[in-house]
Amino acid sequence: MPRFKVTGVGIETGRKRTRTYSAFNEARAREMALADGTEPKEIELVPPEPPTERQLEFARNVGITVPVGATVDEVSDLLSIYQDRDKPATHRHRSFADYYEVETSKCIGKKKLFRLIFNKLNQPGNEEQLATWFAFRVYREITNASDSATAQHPNDPRIVSIGRQLAKDEKVLKSIRRYDGDDLIWFGEWTAPDDVVYSGGSNRTAAYKAASSAIRAEFGIPVKERTPKKRATGKPEPAGCFGFLTIGTILPICLFYSWKQIWTFFA
């Protein structure tokens, strides 16, 4: 988070004083100074710290290229992406963090960003914002993260209205709080071409059911019948050269899409 050096005078003493505050922006630093009894006269941004040698050594060892001029926070996020098997958050995702005044670096990973947003909203007094963020994520799942979907941001009036309704139900709120932040990237299960089943946030909770029902009613989205998933019990042995050629042709494709599936998270 940015640090600001505030130079001013004590409100009660009238003496000159200098304080440094970690704040989301300059306006918030000014508020913190006033709350601390300082009348701000000058506010300046403290230059960010450079990465540590330990960070740089770790990055070199695992093959991470550190951009010139990267800060200690940016390199920390690059290392987190590697360790979490994450992928970089997009500008769109970072705009959600800005909306909720959650400080992030331009190198933050998607999982970490979602965790930070959830942790910020999962605090007393933020119940409506938490429920609205949850409703927006459910809406994105229901609409398959379509760029043509009506609501593209959690500040959409109808999403906000749904969040306000959900926040009034204590059972629903408790259910939302049981999720982890990165559970809200996607919900339910999906099967990769290699038959491995991946799981997102549960779509069987009281919170999901309430949000889904309210969203479908508000946006006029019909309920789709779910096709039962078929689990293979075994695979027939390939027959002769044709079987060998079929496997030899399909296997590279499956490996490609399997790898792609692992690293793909919906918006």
Segment 62-78 shows an average pLDDT of 94
List Cβ neighbours of 244 (8 Å cut-off, separation of 6 or more): 238
Element (H, E) at 9: strand 3-10
pTM of the entire predicted model: 0.73
pLDDT digits (tens, 9 = 90+) for 11-69: 999 999 999 988 878 998 899 999 999 999 999 998 889 999 999 999 999 999 999 99
DSSP string for residues in 66-111: PPTT--HHHHHHHHHHHHHT--BPPHHHHHHHHHTT----TT-BHH
Cα separation, 139 vs 106, in Å, equals 26
The CA-CA-CA angle for residues 157, 161, 163, to 5°, reads 115
pLDDT digits (tens, 9 = 90+) for 204-227: 999 999 999 999 999 999 987 554
Residue 258 reports pLDDT greater than 70: no
List Cβ neighbours of 134 (8 Å cut-off, separation of 6 or more): 163, 166, 176, 179, 184, 207, 211
Segment 221-240 shows an average pLDDT of 51
Segment 118-125 shows an average pLDDT of 97
Cβ atoms of 143 and 111 within 8 Å: the answer is no
Q: Read off the pLDDT band of 133 (50, 70, 90).
A: very high
What is the model's pLDDT at position 197? 80
Domain locations in the chain as residue ranges: 3-46, 49-108, 122-229
Q: Bridge partners of 42?
A: 7
Closest C-alpha among 79, 72, 112 to residue 94: 112
Cβ atoms of 166 and 131 within 8 Å: the answer is yes
Residue 160 reports pLDDT greater than 70: yes
